[in-house]
Homo-oligomer: A and B are copies of this chain.
């Protein structure tokens, strides 16, 4: 039986693709649970139902797995966020969307939340390979929202978007870290989202002209 027409190649590619992503998601799980350094390759292999050696057919080394996990998962979030933002034009609503989307994503995918934390603060100390492009893209969205709001005149012009994006991301990140580690009484996603948004939009100072919306 002769058979090398595209369909077979596709099937082949599918299998490979599946194995690749099986490993990715196994790794996400394992890294999140044990942390990068404590995770063993054999744990990942077991979780992915694959032989230890197989992993090295798809990745160069342990760190390469982490980086792939990170880029891939953050990439997904970026796509999702951009889709949700769609052609929303109101910078206030945009920030609202970003906030809830981020918190929801982190709540739904605790593993990812932790991988981000690890990758961000641990590993680039060891390996200086700054292709954190997806992440920069992701927080860049915040900066853009703020810039837009400044153009429309609804956001204060003295706010520096580059600082604000870090401030905002840091806040969201810590809030979801604590949440995932369940170190604190549980608030609902809505409560947290509201709090963060109102703190940033209107600040914590009592305004003399405090009237609803």
Indicate if the CB atoms of B175 and A173 lie closer than 8 Å.
no
The listed residue (B158, B187, B206) touching A160 by CB distance below 8 A is B187
A174 contacts the other chain (CB 8 A): yes
A14 contacts the other chain (CB 8 A): no
CA distance A192 to B36 in the complex (A): 32
Q: Which residues of B contact A177 (CB under 8 A)?
A: 120-121, 170
Indicate if the CB atoms of B204 and A164 lie closer than 8 Å.
yes
Q: A2-10, A73-81, A149-157: which lies at the B interface?
A: A149-157
A94 contacts the other chain (CB 8 A): no
A57 contacts the other chain (CB 8 A): no
Indicate if the CB atoms of A125 and B170 lie closer than 8 Å.
no
Indicate if the CB atoms of B155 and A166 lie closer than 8 Å.
no
Q: A21-29, A43-51, A193-201: which lies at the B interface?
A: A193-201
Indicate if the CB atoms of B204 and A153 lie closer than 8 Å.
no
Indicate if the CB atoms of A169 and B162 lie closer than 8 Å.
no
How big is chain A's contact interface, by range?
35 or more
Q: Which residues of B contact A191 (CB under 8 A)?
A: 160, 163
A117 contacts the other chain (CB 8 A): yes
Q: Which residues of B contact A114 (CB under 8 A)?
A: 121, 125
A39 → chain B, closest Cβ, in Å? 10
A140 → chain B, closest Cβ, in Å? 12
A104 contacts the other chain (CB 8 A): no
Q: Which residues of B contact A204 (CB under 8 A)?
A: 146, 149, 155-156, 159, 164, 200-201
Indicate if the CB atoms of A155 and B121 lie closer than 8 Å.
no
The listed residue (B35, B153, B169, B198) touching A206 by CB distance below 8 A is B153
A167 contacts the other chain (CB 8 A): yes
CA distance A120 to B175 in the complex (A): 13
> Shortest 4 CB-CB distances between A and B: which pairs?
A170-B174, A203-B203, A37-B37, A202-B203
Q: List 15 A-B contacts (CB under 8 A).
A: A33-B125, A35-B126, A121-B122, A121-B177, A146-B204, A155-B204, A159-B195, A159-B204, A163-B187, A163-B192, A174-B174, A199-B200, A203-B203, A207-B207, A209-B209
